[in-house]
Structure 1
Amino acid sequence: MANNGLSSNNDLRLFIAVFLFWCYSFGFLMVAVEATNRSTAFLLVLAPIITYIVIKRLSIPPPSDDVVNEVLGRWLEESEDGSESDSAPPTIGVWAHRFAGLDAPENTLEALDTCIENGAKAVEFDLILTADLVPVVFHDPRIDRMTNCEGDIRQLPWSKVKSFDVSTNHPFKSKYPDAHIPHFEDVVRKCVENQIHMVIDIKDDRPEVVTVIVEMFAKYPDLYRLALTSSFNPLTIWNIRKANPSIVAGLTWRPHYLSCSSYSPDDSQCVTYPHSAPVLYAYRLLDLCHKYVYNNICHSLIGFSVALLEKDQITREVINRWKKQNVRVMAWTVNAPIEKLMFMKQYSVPIITDSMLGPTDPTK
Structure 2
Amino acid sequence: MRQLLSHCLEYAGAVCVVTMSLPGMLLSCFKCWTYLYGLYLCLSEAVCCTVPISFLAPILLALWIKYLRIPPPDAKLVEDVLGCDPWALAECNGNGTNESNNERYVMRTVAHRGAGLDAPENSLSALRRAKEKGCSAVEIDVALTSDGVPIVFHDDTVDRITTATGEVKDMTWAKLKNLDISSKHPFSDRYKGERIALLDEAIQECIKLGLRVFLDLKGDDLKLVPVVLDAFDKNSRLYKTAVVSSFNPYLIYMIRRADPNIVCSMAWRPNFYAYQSYDGTFGESHPRFNGLISHILALLVDAASDWALHNVTYYILGLSAVLLQKDNVTLETVRKWKERGVRVIPWTVNHPLEKQFFSRILKVTYMTDTLDGEPNRLTS
User: Could you tell me whether the CA contact under 8 Å between 2:279 and 2:327 is conserved in 1?
Assistant: no
Instruction: Confirm whether residue 47 of structure 1 aligns to residue 63 of structure 2.
Output: no
Q: Structure 2: which amino acid aligns with 1:54?
A: W
Instruction: Confirm whether residue 60 of structure 1 aligns to residue 67 of structure 2.
Output: no
Tell me how many residue pairs correspond in the alignment: 355
Deviations 1:242-299 (A, max 9, x none): 1111100101110011101121224465221133122212211221111100011012
Q: Quick one: distance in 2 between partners of 1:358 and 1:195?
A: 23
TM-score (ref. length: structure 2): 0.87
Change (3 A) 1:189 1:43: same
Q: Secondary structure at the match of 1:309?
A: strand
Alignment of 1:299-318 (within 5 A): 299-318=314-333
Q: Secondary structure at the match of 2:213?
A: strand
Deviations 1:109-159 (A, max 9, x none): 111121122222111110011111110000011111111111111111111
Residue 207 of structure 1, CA deviation = 1.5
Q: Counterpart in 2 of 1:30?
A: 37
Deviations 1:223-242 (A, max 9, x none): 11110110011110111111
Instruction: Confirm whether residue 159 of structure 1 aligns to residue 178 of structure 2.
Output: no
Structure 1 stretch 11-20 or stretch 190-199: which is displaced more?
A: 11-20
Instruction: Confirm whether residue 327 of structure 1 aligns to residue 333 of structure 2.
Output: no
User: Could you tell me whether the CA contact under 8 Å between 1:70 and 1:89 is conserved in 2?
Assistant: no
Change (3 A) 1:53 1:163: same
Instruction: Confirm whether residue 361 of structure 1 aligns to residue 367 of structure 2.
Output: no
Instruction: Confirm whether residue 72 of structure 1 aligns to residue 82 of structure 2.
Output: yes
Q: Structure 2: which amino acid aligns with 1:311?
A: K
Q: Quick one: distance in 2 between partners of 1:154 and 1:93?
A: 34
Match of 1:169 among 178, 184, 206: 184
Deviations 1:178-203 (A, max 9, x none): 11110000000011112111111111
Q: Quick one: distance in 1 between partners of 2:28 and 2:113?
A: 42
Structure 1 stretch 70-79 or stretch 307-316: which is displaced more?
A: 70-79
Change (3 A) 1:59 1:256: same
Q: Structure 1: which amino acid aligns with 2:113?
A: R
Deviations 1:159-186 (A, max 9, x none): 1111111111111111110111100000
Alpha carbon RMSD of aligned pairs, Å? 2.3
Match of 1:295 among 310, 314, 334: 310
Q: Quick one: distance in 1 between partners of 2:254 and 2:304?
A: 21
Instruction: Confirm whether residue 13 of structure 1 aligns to residue 19 of structure 2.
Output: yes
Q: Quick one: distance in 2 between partners of 1:153 and 1:221?
A: 29
Structure 1 stretch 78-87 or stretch 126-135: which is displaced more?
A: 78-87
User: Could you tell me whether the CA contact under 8 Å between 1:34 and 1:41 is conserved in 2?
Assistant: no
Q: Secondary structure at the match of 1:222?
A: helix
Gaps of 5+ in 1: 1-9
Residue 301 of structure 1, CA deviation = 0.5
Structure 1 stretch 40-49 or stretch 163-172: which is displaced more?
A: 40-49
Q: Quick one: distance in 1 between partners of 2:206 and 2:74?
A: 23
User: Could you tell me whether the CA contact under 8 Å between 2:273 and 2:302 is conserved in 1?
Assistant: yes
Q: Quick one: distance in 2 between partners of 1:118 and 1:40?
A: 69
Structure 1 stretch 308-317 or stretch 200-209: which is displaced more?
A: 200-209
Q: Structure 2: which amino acid aligns with 1:63?
A: P
Q: Counterpart in 1 of 2:203?
A: 188
